Copies of this chain bind each other. A is one copy, B any other.
Amino acid sequence: MSSTWGQAFRVTTWGESHGGGVGVVIDGCPARVPLSLDKIQAALDRRRPGQSEITTPRKEGDRAEILSGVFEDRTTGTPISILVRNEDHRSEAYNEMAGKYRPSHADYTYDAKYGFRDWRGGGRSSARETIGRVAAASVAQQVLEVLAPGLDVIAWVKSVKHLNASVDPLTVSRETIEGNIVRTGDPALVEPMTDLIKEMRSTGNSVGGVVECVVRNCPAGLGEPVFDKIDADLAKAMLSLPATKAFEIGSGFAGTMLTGLEHNDPFRMGTDGQVHTTKNDSGGVQGGMSNGEPILFRVAFKPVATVMHAQDTVTSAPHTDTTLKGRGRHDPCVLPRAVPIVEAMTWLVILDHVLRQRGQNG
């Protein structure tokens, strides 16, 4: 269903930008797992607006409250409900949007689908919805620390517009990425990327780019043949994030420039006694199942749709041509805050498949 992710570790998010709050209910979580609210809060803080000079100045405390499913700091196996109240919403900044569709936003399509929309702050299409995903992903991460020790998910900003970072997915550290406000893995590009984003803000424009993500130490055999391939689920997970337009795993589109002889990943026994591939154009997935190599993929985020210029659009009802100029507080570039939500969806995909694999095959 629309607002539920997963089959075994099921995550249902709810909430709008300017309603009573946003949150998530997690069903199917393994019992007896130590669960830290502080870790959940730290994950939300990474996603939170107002973290740096290149993100939106909207101030939200985004304090998470666990309402159920945890007893004496351990999961009980019953649904975990997490609530984050909305605080700093200024609906008046959106008054004009009540009657006009913002170009390349979801205003028109919500009306087309439901005949009606909560226009305050983008309603359900607001990126605040991802709070529920990030909170649930922190729970998933804490479960995987028990079920798959060593498994890690790390994402970084691969490119901002034409500025393309040089990053080694096998070695890049979380410290490097979190050590700069762009969250790129390439120290040499921190300043150019920051400058570009500031320039976009100062001109009322916006910019997009690519986030890259790696899953290290993923056990082989995750994912299922046919429809629920792990790369298929990752693709859906990423395209379910706001502002995404593309997904590629391993060699991706560039792989089509190779021949089969060049593209195939040879198998060799590793010094660890395990089967390995000598290169990884497969991106860690073959036939839809993980092969034990790092899972590596990229996600394209379009430039932010809200710009501070008048643009052609139409009114909501009745429809007539008009113009609309962006207002409100927005990120000129979503990428730094996209890093934690790309990681979040990845945690959710991985844990769901870990539990499914355990259920079917022990």
Bound-state CA distance A120–B362 (Å) is: 25
B239 touches A123 (CB 8 A): no
Bound-state CA distance A161–B66 (Å) is: 41
Q: Mark A286-327, 1 if CB is under 8 A from B, else 0.
A: 111111100000001111111101011110000111000000
A31 touches B116 (CB 8 A): yes
Contact of A7 with B by CB under 8 A: yes
Say which size band chain A's interface belongs to: 35 or more
Number of copies: 4
List CB contacts (< 8 Å) of A215-270 with chain B.
Answer: 220-229, 231-240, 242, 245-253, 255-269
List CB contacts (< 8 Å) of A45-89 with chain B.
Answer: 65-69, 71, 74, 76-81, 83
CB nearest to A356 among chain B residues: B359
A124 touches B76 (CB 8 A): yes
A245 touches B248 (CB 8 A): yes
Contact of A346 with B by CB under 8 A: no
Instruction: Give the distance to chain B from A193, nearest Cβ to Cβ, in Å.
Output: 13
CB nearest to A208 among chain B residues: B256
Pick from B206, B229, B234, B360: contact of A77, CB under 8 Å? B360
Contact (A159, B114) CB under 8 Å given A31-B361, A355-B360? no
A319 touches B256 (CB 8 A): no
Pick from B23, B108, B209, B305: contact of A256, CB under 8 Å? B209
Bound-state CA distance A186–B108 (Å) is: 34
Q: Mark A148-177, 1 if CB is under 8 A from B, else 0.
A: 000000000001011000000000000000
Contact (A109, B205) CB under 8 Å given A2-B226, A27-B3? no
CB nearest to A31 among chain B residues: B114
Pick from B69, B159, B205, B236: contact of A14, CB under 8 Å? B69
Contact (A129, B226) CB under 8 Å given A275-B314, A303-B260? yes
Bound-state CA distance A206–B263 (Å) is: 10
Bound-state CA distance A218–B331 (Å) is: 32
Apart from A71-B120, A104-B286, 6 more pairs, CB < 8 Å: A113-B222, A239-B247, A246-B253, A258-B303, A260-B303, A263-B305
Write 29 A-B pairs (CB below 8 A) sorted by A numbering.
Answer: A1-B228, A4-B227, A14-B27, A15-B68, A19-B67, A31-B360, A76-B117, A76-B123, A77-B116, A101-B267, A104-B282, A105-B287, A108-B286, A109-B223, A109-B289, A112-B220, A113-B221, A113-B361, A125-B225, A208-B255, A210-B253, A231-B239, A236-B239, A251-B302, A253-B253, A256-B303, A263-B305, A264-B311, A267-B314
